[in-house]
Amino acid sequence: MANFSTNEFKPGLKVMLDGEPCSIMENEYVKPGKGQAFNRVKLRNLRSGRVWERTFKSGDTLEGADVMDVELEYSYTDGEFFYFMDPVSYDQHAAGSEAVGETQKWLKEQEKYEVTLYNGAPITVTPPNFIELEITETDPGLKGDTAQGGSKPATLTTGAVVRVPLFISQGEIIRIDTRTGEYVSRASKS
Amino acid sequence: MSDWRPGAPLSVQRQRATLLAELRQYFHRLGVMEVETPLLCQYGVTDPGLDNFAVVCGDGERWLQTSPEYAMKRLLAAGSGDIFQICKAFRSGELGQRHNPEYTLLEWYRLGVDHYDLLHQVGELVCGLLGRAGWQVWPWRTLVQHVLGSDIERATHRELEQLALAQVGDIPPALDREALLDLLVSHCVEPALAKWGVVFVVDYPLPQAALARRVQGPDGEALGARFECYVDGLELANGYWECGDADELALRFESDNLLREQRGLPCRPVDQRLLAALRSGLPDCSGVALGVDRLLALQSASPDLDGVLAFNWNRS
C-alpha cells in the first residue's frame, strides 16, 4: 500500500496505526509562530470502533490500509460464520461474530449490508438504517387499542427484542430503525 | 460543481479591500515606501520549520518565497530607507484552520529603531485596526513558566519529554529539544493566550532567534531580539531587531541545515546574495511580518481563514 503524509490525512482516509486499520476522522494542523509543525489526528480503529487521538510531526507518514467498503447480501450462517455474497460477482465472504457484532440482530437473508473488508476479509458489518422484520412472538394485542396506548416487547425472527405498540400482533412485519433499535411503523406484507 | 463560488462572503472581500487601502495609507503617511520583490526566487530558506514550494522553470528550479525578507534586506542594504510590502507568501504543507499554503503577508522595515520601538508601532497599528485598548508584553521564558508551571529553559531533554507527555498526552517519538519546546508552546502556551487579548512575547531563547540580533538578557544570558504578536491566541506578527552580521547569520543557516539533516529533511543552499548584501552593510533596523488574512479574520470575527479567503486551497 502507498504511504500517506500528514497533509494527505483527510476524513475517511484508511491508514495503518499500531498494526490496526483505522479511518481518519479529524486532522488539525498546529504550528507555533516559528518551528516544528504538528498534526493532531483523530482516528477510528475500524476493528474495535475505538477513537484514538494522536499527535504527529507534520510530514510524518502512515501506511495506507487495504480497506474497502462493499455492499453485500446476507446469505446464511453455519453457526460459526456469517456468509455474505457479492450480488454482482457472486463471491462469498465469511464474517466472524466479532465483525458482525451488534448487527447480528438485524441480519436478514437477501438484505444488503455495508461490509468493510480489510485485506479482503470482513471486519465490520453495518445494517441499512431501516429494516423490515417479522414478529415471531408478542402478547396478544387488545382490539381497539390506538397508537397512544403504551408498548410491549416483541421478539423478531432474528431474535432481537423491540418495543412495539399494543395493537401490533404476532406474525406482522414491522419497520425498525437499526440505529436506535426502535419500532418505526407497520410494514405492508408483500 | 458549486465550488466555483467564493468560499468567503463578498462583504468580507470588501472589508479586505478597505483594510489593504488603510494599510497603504498608514505607511504612505509615515513616509514608508512600498516595494515589490520577486515571488519566484533562486534561493529558498534553510529554516527547518519552513518548506518552500519548488517550481520547475525553463532555466532550472526556483523557489516560491516563504516571505520577502531576504529580498527586502537587499533593498535596505542598497539604501532604500524605510520600506513596506504587501505580497503573497507560500509555505508548503501549511494547511489548517489558521494556515493556507498561499497567503498574504505585510512586511515592513524601519531604520534606526529596535524591536521594542517596532513592537510599540505594531501594537498601535493592530489595536487601532481591531479596536483594542492595549497590549501586554511577556518575556518568553516568564510566559512559558507562567502557563506550564515549570522553567522549561533549564529542563533536561528527559524532563521536557515527561512534561510534554503529561501536558499533551500522546507525543511523537524521538523529538529533539527544539521540537519538544515547539510542541509545548503550540499545544499549551498559545491556546492559553486565547483570552488575553493582544499579547507580545519578547526575548526569545537564542536557538529561536531566527534572524534577530543577539542581545543580553537581564541575567546576562544571550537572547534573540525577537517579538511575536498574538491576538486572542492567534499568532499575527513576528518581528526582529535585525541581525546584520553576515558571519553570524551564515553560522545560523549552517546549523539550520544541520538540524534539517538530523530530521531527515533536505538541506537548502544558503542565499549568497543576502549574505553579500549584509557584508556590504545593513543599516540598523527592525522589521516585522504580519499575516493579513489573519488580521482580516480577527476584524471580521471569522473563526478560521476559510472565512476570509475568496478561494482557499481547496477552491483555488
What pLDDT was estimated at residue B3?
Answer: 87
Give mean pLDDT, residues A127-154.
82
Cell of B43: 534561493
Question: In Å, how far is B37's CA from the nearest CA of chain A?
Answer: 23
Cα–Cα dist B149/B151, whole Å: 7
Please name the residues in contact with A151: beta carbons below 8 A apart, sequence gap of 6 or more: A163, A164, A165, A166, A183
Model confidence at A143, pLDDT cuts 50, 70, 90, reads low
Q: Which residue of B has its CA nearest to A6?
A: B93
Residues B133/B138/B140/B141 CA torsion (nearest 10 deg): -150
Q: Do A41 and A71 meet the contact criterion of CB atoms below 8 Å apart?
A: no
Which parts of chain B have pLDDT scores under 50?
A: none
Question: In Å, how far is A168's CA from the nearest CA of chain B?
Answer: 47
Contact yes or no for A56 and B172 at CB 8 A:
yes
B2-132+246-260+282-307 has which fold? BirA Bifunctional Protein; domain 2 (3.30.930)
Cα–Cα dist A110/A74, whole Å: 5
What pLDDT was estimated at residue B219?
Answer: 85
Q: What is the DSSP letter of B26?
A: H
> Domain locations in chain B?
2-132+246-260+282-307
Contact yes or no for A33 and B179 at CB 8 A:
no
Cα–Cα dist B126/B120, whole Å: 10
Cα–Cα dist A73/A111, whole Å: 5
* Nearest CB neighbour to B178, from listed A33, A36, A55: A36
Cα–Cα dist B282/B276, whole Å: 10
Helix (H), strand (E), coil (C) string for chain A = CCEEEHHHCCCCCEEEECCEEEEEEEEEEECCCCCCCEEEEEEEECCCCCEEEEEEECCCEEEECCEEEEEEEEEEECCCCEEEECCCCCCEEEECHHHHHHHHHHCCCCCEEEEEEECCEEEEEECCCEEEEEEEEECCCCCCCCCCCCEEEEEECCCCEEEEECCCCCCCEEEEECCCCEEEEECCCC
Enumerate the residues of chain B whose CB falls inside 8 A of the CB of residue A37.
Answer: 49, 93-94
* Side-chain half-sphere CA neighbours of B256 within 13 A: 26
What pLDDT was estimated at residue A140?
Answer: 83
CB pairs under 8 A between A and B: 71
This prediction has a pTM of 0.84
What pLDDT was estimated at residue B246?
Answer: 97
- Name the strands in the sheet holding A92-95, side by side, starting at the edge strand that comes first in the sequence: A92-95, A82-85, A67-77, A112-118, A121-126
Bigger pLDDT: A33 vs B130: B130
Question: In Å, how far is B303's CA from the nearest CA of chain A?
Answer: 14
pLDDT in tens, B247-304: 999 999 999 999 999 989 999 999 999 999 999 999 999 999 999 999 999 999 999 9
What pLDDT was estimated at residue A31?
Answer: 92
What pLDDT was estimated at residue A144?
Answer: 56
Residue type, B73: K
pLDDT in tens, A97-135: 999 999 999 999 999 999 999 999 999 999 999 999 999
